[in-house]
Structure 1
Amino acid sequence: MLPTLNRVNDYVHVMKWYKDGQDLKMGDCIVAMKPTDPQSRVCKRITGMEGDLILVDPSQEDDEEAFETFITVPKGHVWVTGDNLSHSLDSRTYNSIPKGLIKGKIVAANDFSKPISTFWGFRKIGNSYSDEK
């Protein structure tokens, strides 16, 4: 999730109201169980909602040998990607995820290695699609 979240020293704050995908929107950052390893959690951004037509790997659209694969996100599922597409394992690897795997929405993160003057490193994690900058 770089650059939104750091790999080390970042702690995310999750609102569990959004568990099971309740009231989530495109662009929200979530914590979910990893589909390929239920003991692990992943932080990803929702980039497709149920019924959306998704180009599975848009990073290859300029590659002359690439085969464009589209998928319609099934009912009760979301498409998730990391913010650093070139180094992310996400729906492009393990397909759309059931909303039941979602544990909550990330609303803030903090880095305790930051000086106290920055309110202990707290920062809001917003929706990159709908929040005003």
Structure 2
Amino acid sequence: MAQTGFGRRYFKAFVSGFFVAVPVTVTVLDRLAYVARVEGASMQPSLNPDGESSPDVVLLNRWSVRNYQVHRGDIVSVLSPKDPRQKIIKRVIGIEGDFIKTLGYKNRYVRVPDGHLWIEGDHHGHSFDSNTFGPVINELVLTKDKIS
């Protein structure tokens, strides 16, 4: 009979812990940080240097993006302008007001408009980035890499 009481207490503690842990975890992932897997060659060699055989996992910071604390050199996760269901990870090359020398964009030099960023992959020529679609509006930026 003692075993039954122990099992019920254990189950009760597990259930109450579960109902506390799940909302806390969802809040943290929604407001503060996000874990993402980096696949593909566009950010090589900085991220995913071994290619598809061992994708990198990064911790992306939602808080600084929410407060518009994105700087040149930061790695950000952005909703793809081509397919809004897809997220792409790129490096911020220019912020609003910067003049950028592009790599194959329709204009050789571009001034980044207010409220926009210029993003590029580290592996030029293997990246779908601002050189393809132009400056990205700040609202498409989802997260910033915590390690950048």
Q: What TM-score, normalized to structure 2?
A: 0.63
RMSD: 1.8
1:42 aligns with 2:81: no
Structure 1: stretches of 5+ with no match in the other structure: 61-66, 108-124, 127-133
1:80 aligns with 2:119: yes
Q: Name the % identity.
A: 34
Change (3 A) 1:41 1:21: farther
Paired residues, number: 101
Distance 1:98 1:105 in 2: 15
Runs of 4+ in 1 over 2 A off after TM superposition: 18-21
Distance 1:68 1:41 in 2: 26
- Residue 90 of structure 1 is matched in structure 2 by 129
Structure 2: stretches of 5+ with no match in the other structure: 1-42
Moved more, 10-19 or 73-82: 10-19
Contact 1:33 1:42 in 2 (8 A): yes
What does residue range 97-116 of structure 1 map to in structure 2 within 5 Å? 97-107=136-146
Deviations 1:69-98 (A, max 9, x none): 111100000000001112111000010100
Q: What TM-score, normalized to structure 1?
A: 0.69
Of the two, which has the highest radius of gyration?
Answer: 2
Secondary structure in structure 1 of the residue aligned to 2:76: strand
Deviations 1:4-40 (A, max 9, x none): 1114321121110133571111000001101111000
1:22 aligns with 2:61: no
Whichever structure has more strand as a proportion of its residues is 1
- Residue 120 of structure 1 is matched in structure 2 by none
